């Protein structure tokens, strides 16, 4: 296979405009971290577990790792799969990769061999970096299997007890003093992020230094970040929201401090908020609910909190209203996507806007279209399909012509799959979604992907996976199954899917056996219409009361 160097290219006229407007400044990750380390070397940059790193320490560690990666034979442009939880070395590793001109590919800690193999193949990765274990899972076993399945993975580094692999700690002891702070251009692809995956497995999203740094610089400004900011990374920081909206990168860019929590639960987080005087954090709606519950009678001092950002899935106005009285902080709604566009409510917006909308775009050059089913602009104020293009929204996925043909218009707009309406003052309200994925507590699950796993079971004749409204998770997944011969037990099917080696959050919360999917007339329906019909049937029967499984870590 020919290795394809990831690129992301905007038309010349637009690129010139984004540069002229000062959005793209040819800044790079390697360089700005170094600049911060020179201006304020002794300021704390990252806190996690027992580690407390200053900007100078983080910068040196990034250089050491960069030197180590290059000495191990990786060359500029190589892709490196990152599979780390919220530990300080997550940040040192990605900064080290940037500095060496290597391209991180971000997997979530919940991903398992099937997803990891898919990312490794899709990106043609040459190395894999994982923790020894996290949340009860041994990533070294996954690494062994990955090496067998993907011989292109030539190097494996492990944080902690490396077992048969190379130790990340040893690599971090490399002399990095000769490594230049930066060898990249602003227009180079800095990393590959993964898509929420509306059809099939996730797609890879190439983001450039120019476009991503613009989005996090403006995010940091919109969210009022500065040297006094203490950002708590509670959600997995490999996700775009806690990474750059403004997330840990925006915080470091603004000279603030990042505090990392290995788990997002309120007990772990509240202890850190009190100890580190956390000022801002980002949550998904179900986590916010847990936080609100515990905040009612916690002994922890949460007074330092100024802003609670909530995004990833729709937040109900009912819950939004409780944030200020219960947590004493300003709510900020964040509606974003790894492909680019991010919307924020502004901190000084009227309470009504903060509670009822999902914010407005970062950039005056974020172009927004809201179209009806025929591709015509809706009457202002009406709901329609959201399409967008702009200075930090991608124009193409990596190496995926069919997804690109589906997801982008000829003039470069990204079809988000979201249905929104715009208020007269330009704020977006998310109404729902046109695509068939399930947004389970902010984790996106492709119906098609799970149906494929189910169909591979010998006792499954057909399967359709749909989203069901869930009071706690927002949505949960329900698989309708037509059995082949004897009906399999629910637990057998769940075990079967888990055995495919996928993230736990993708395992259906509920399984319903049916004799057939639809009446003969309805059999002509598209898959999409079929899923809609099954969902309605279940909700009409009031048979949707199965308690969901717990929130994934």
Question: Least distance from C-beta 50 to ligand OOB, angstroms?
Answer: 30
Contact 105, 79 (CB under 8 A): yes
Asked whether the CA dihedral 392, 397, 401, 403 is positive or negative, the reply is negative
Instruction: Give φ, ψ of 17 to 5 degrees.
Output: -65, -40
Binding site for ligand OOB (CB under 6 A): 196, 240-241, 245, 311-314, 333-338, 342, 358, 416, 418, 430, 433, 439, 442, 444
Question: Least distance from C-beta 428 to ligand OOB, angstroms?
Answer: 9
Pairwise CA distance, residues 82 & 61, whole Å: 17
Pairwise CA distance, residues 161 & 435, whole Å: 42
The residue among 17 and 221 lying less far from ligand OOB, judged by its C-beta, is: 221
Question: Least distance from C-beta 552 to ligand OOB, angstroms?
Answer: 14
The residue among 314 and 398 lying less far from ligand OOB, judged by its C-beta, is: 314
Nearest CA to 110 out of 513, 442, 339 is that of 442
Pairwise CA distance, residues 52 & 38, whole Å: 18
Position of minimal CB gap to ligand OOB: 336
The residue among 68 and 85 lying less far from ligand OOB, judged by its C-beta, is: 85
Q: What angle do CA 203, 208, 210 make, to 5 degrees?
A: 150
The residue among 344 and 517 lying less far from ligand OOB, judged by its C-beta, is: 344
Pairwise CA distance, residues 397 & 464, whole Å: 27
Question: Least distance from C-beta 448 to ligand OOB, angstroms?
Answer: 16
Question: Least distance from C-beta 341 to ligand OOB, angstroms?
Answer: 8
The residue among 174 and 199 lying less far from ligand OOB, judged by its C-beta, is: 199
Contact 477, 450 (CB under 8 A): yes
The 3-state DSSP class for residue 283 equals strand
Nearest CA to 99 out of 119, 74, 122, 116 is that of 74
In sequence order, what DSSP letters do the residues of 319-339 get, joined into one string?
A: HHTTHHHHH-SEEEEEEEETT
The residue among 179 and 420 lying less far from ligand OOB, judged by its C-beta, is: 420
Pairwise CA distance, residues 244 & 309, whole Å: 12
Question: Least distance from C-beta 282 to ligand OOB, angstroms?
Answer: 8
The 3-state DSSP class for residue 231 equals strand
The residue among 48 and 312 lying less far from ligand OOB, judged by its C-beta, is: 312
The residue among 97 and 223 lying less far from ligand OOB, judged by its C-beta, is: 223
Question: Least distance from C-beta 354 to ligand OOB, angstroms?
Answer: 12
Helix 55-71 / helix 88-99 crossing angle, nearest 10 deg: 60
Question: Least distance from C-beta 512 to ligand OOB, angstroms?
Answer: 25
The residue among 60 and 439 lying less far from ligand OOB, judged by its C-beta, is: 439
Contact 383, 421 (CB under 8 A): yes
Question: Least distance from C-beta 184 to ligand OOB, angstroms?
Answer: 23
């Amino acid at each position: 296979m020919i290795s394809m160097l990831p690129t992301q290219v905007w038309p010349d006229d637009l690129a010139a405009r984004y540069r002229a407007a000062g959005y793209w400044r040819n800044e790079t990750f390697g360089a700005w971290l170094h600049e911060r380390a020179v201006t304020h070397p002794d300021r704390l940059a990252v806190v996690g577990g027992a580690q407390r790193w200053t900007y100078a320490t983080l910068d040196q560690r990034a250089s050491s790792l960069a030197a180590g990666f290059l000495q191990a034979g990786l060359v500029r442009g190589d892709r490196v799969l990152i599979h780390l939880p919220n530990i300080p070395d997550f940040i040192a590793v990605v900064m080290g990769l940037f500095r060496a001109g290597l391209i991180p590919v971000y997997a979530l800690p919940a991903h398992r061999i099937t997803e990891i193999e898919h990312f490794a193949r899709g990106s043609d990765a040459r190395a894999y970096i994982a923790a020894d274990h996290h949340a009860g899972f041994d990533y070294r076993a996954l690494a062994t299997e990955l090496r067998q399945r993907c011989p292109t993975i030539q190097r494996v580094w492990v944080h902690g007890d490396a077992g048969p692999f190379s130790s990340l700690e040893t690599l971090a002891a490399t002399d990095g003093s000769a490594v230049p702070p930066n060898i990249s251009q602003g227009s180079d692809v800095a990393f590959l992020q993964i898509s929420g995956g509306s059809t099939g497995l996730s797609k890879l999203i190439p983001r450039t230094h120019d476009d991503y740094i613009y989005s996090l610089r403006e995010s940091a400004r919109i969210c009022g970040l500065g040297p006094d900011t203490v950002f708590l990374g509670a959600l997995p920081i490999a996700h775009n929201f806690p990474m750059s909206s403004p997330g840990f990168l925006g915080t470091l860019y603004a000279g603030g401090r990042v505090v990392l929590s290995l788990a997002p639960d309120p007990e772990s987080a509240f202890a850190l908020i009190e100890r580190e005087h956390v000022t801002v954090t980002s949550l998904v709606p179900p986590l916010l609910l847990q936080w609100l519950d515990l905040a009612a009678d916690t002994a922890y001092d949460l007074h330092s909190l100024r802003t609670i950002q909530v995004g990833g899935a729709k937040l109900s106005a009912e819950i939004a209203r409780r944030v200020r009285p219960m947590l004493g902080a300003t709510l900020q709604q964040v509606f974003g996507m790894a492909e680019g566009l991010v919307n924020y409510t502004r901190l000084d917006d009227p309470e009504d806007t903060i509670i009822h909308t999902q914010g407005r775009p970062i950039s005056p050059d974020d172009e927004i279209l809201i179209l009806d089913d025929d591709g015509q602009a809706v009457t202002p104020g009406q709901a329609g399909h959201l399409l967008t293009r702009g200075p930090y929204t991608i124009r193409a996925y990596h190496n995926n012509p069919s997804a690109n043909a589906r997801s982008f218009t000829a003039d470069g707009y990204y079809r988000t799959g979201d249905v929104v309406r715009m208020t007269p003052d330009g704020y977006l309200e998310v109404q729902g979604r046109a695509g068939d994925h399930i947004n389970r507590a902010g984790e996106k699950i492709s119906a098609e992907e799970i149906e494929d796993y189910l169909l591979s079971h010998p006792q499954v004749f057909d399967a359709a996976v749909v989203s069901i409204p869930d009071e706690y998770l927002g949505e949960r997944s329900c698989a309708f199954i037509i059995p082949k011969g004897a009906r399999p037990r629910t637990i057998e099917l769940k075990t079967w899917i888990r055995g495919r080696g996928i993230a736990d959050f993708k395992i259906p919360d509920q399984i319903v056996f049916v004799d057939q999917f639809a009446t003969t007339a309805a059999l002509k329906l598209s898959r999409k219409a079929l899923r809609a019909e099954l969902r309605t049937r279940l909700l009409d029967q009031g048979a949707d009361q199965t308690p969901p499984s717990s929130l994934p870590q």
